[in-house]
Amino acid sequence: MPSKIISNEKIAPEIFKIVLVAPQIAKKHRAGQFIILRVGERGERIPLTVVEKDPQAGTITLIYQVVGKTTMWLSDKKAGEELQDLVGPLGNPTEIENFGNAVAIGGGVGCACVYPIAKALKEAGNHLTIIWGARTKEHLLLEKEIAEISDRLEICTDDGSKGTHGFVSEVLKRMIEQKEKIDYVIAVGPVPMMRAIVELTRGPGIRTVVSLNSIMVDGTGMCGSCRVLVGGERKFACVDGPEFDGHKVDFKNMMTRLRVYKEFEDLAKEKYQEERGR
């Protein structure tokens, strides 16, 4: 059913935060789960992680990056307008335990996905280290929020404008080399980043969870669009995931599958930009 937009604001270059009316989703959502939305009647169905929810107010918050037509269209919607469809919560919630020393790693807009999980890890009693990465300091997300929940915070920027000049993987590498105790890692970000993290933790055998952003249509396990190879087996990111054991994910296949509609995406984006006169 349609969902009313409470607010839709730019919070970083190309990154927006949208608050939507969704009382039932707000009530049922648990960290790690996502929603699927359609902006308009001819729109495609896309998955986005729920970053925050307010069961009292009956709202959910999403943070998204403008990459193609649908996210661009979404960013043009104003407070008071409605989205055509909103459904959720979908996917499995993150398996949260008191692992001991947990490291939550976010890259780019992936940080928005990690935040609710990091919060849940903290609430479960973990010692929480957060490694946050972005292109520049303007691209850093939820800084205030993560400062409040982390026991230790490491910021990285690609251009060195804030924190460590480098990638999140370099910070983790240092931690592993210094034989720091790490019981659990969750990493969400661009596929090359998740791959790098997974390779670092493979040798020391550190439990590592990643969240996959496969292309989806229905989100309830009936089409197989989002299928990934995990430990050589076929899994659906929408119902078996979206989180999986990072050491078992075939990232190469996943990256190939993410590119399947590249030409269509470029065409749709161009067409939309022309229509909007940008």
Partner 1 sequence: MGEQEEKKSAKKEKIPRQKMAEQEPKERIKNFQEVPYGFTPEQAMLEASRCLKCKKPKCVDGCPVNINIPEFISLIEQGKFIEAAWKIKEQNALPAICGRVCPQEEQCEKLCVLGKKQKPVSIGYLERFVADYERASGKIQLPKIRPKTGKKVAIVGSGPAGLTAAGELIKLGHDVTIYEALHLPGGVLVYGIPEFRLPKAIVQAEVEYLKALGVKLEVDVVVGKTITVDELFEQGVDAMFIGTGAGLPQFMDIPGEELNGVYSANEFLTRNNLMKAFKFPEYDTPILRGKKVATIGGGNVAMDSARTALRLGAEKSYIVYRRSRAEMPARIDEIEHAEQEGIEFHLLTLPLEIYPNEQGYVKAMKCQRMQLGEPDESGRRRPVPIPGSEFIMDVDIVIVAIGNRPNPLIPQTTPGLQTQKWGGVIADEATGKTSREHIYAGGDIVTGAATVILAMGAGKKAAYAIHKELTGEDLSLSLPKGEDKTR
Which residues here bind partner 1, judged by CB under 8 A?
Answer: 1, 24-25, 28, 38, 42-45, 69-70, 84-90, 217-218, 220-225, 227, 229, 234, 239, 253, 256-257, 259-261, 264-265, 267-268, 271
Q: Which is nearer to partner 1, 62 or 105 (CB)?
A: 62
Q: Which is nearer to partner 1, 135 or 257 (CB)?
A: 257
Q: Using CA atoms, how far apart are residues 74 and 94, in angstroms rounded to an integer?
A: 27
Per-residue tokens: 179: 């034989």
User: Locate tokens 């019981």: which residue?
Assistant: 183
Q: How far is CA 175 from CA 122, 185, 252, in A?
A: 20, 12, 26
Q: Which is nearer to partner 1, 24 or 98 (CB)?
A: 24
Handedness of CA 155, 243, 14, 158 (dihedral sign): positive
Q: Closest distance between partner 1 and the C-beta of residue 85, in Å?
A: 4
Q: Closest distance between partner 1 and the C-beta of residue 42, in Å?
A: 4
Q: Which is nearer to partner 1, 91 or 246 (CB)?
A: 91
Q: Closest distance between partner 1 and the C-beta of residue 75, in Å?
A: 15
Q: Closest distance between partner 1 and the C-beta of residue 246, in Å?
A: 18
Spell out a b/e string for 218-237, using b for 16 or more CB atoms within 10 Å of the CB, else e: ebeeeeebbbbbbeeeebbb
Residues in the chain: 278
Element (H, E) at 26: helix 23-28
Contact 225, 45 (CB under 8 A): no
Q: Which of 115, 121, 173 is nearest to 147 (CA)?
A: 115
Q: Closest distance between partner 1 and the C-beta of residue 41, in Å?
A: 9
Q: Closest distance between partner 1 and the C-beta of residue 185, in Å?
A: 26
Q: Which is nearer to partner 1, 98 or 220 (CB)?
A: 220
Q: Which is nearer to partner 1, 84 or 164 (CB)?
A: 84
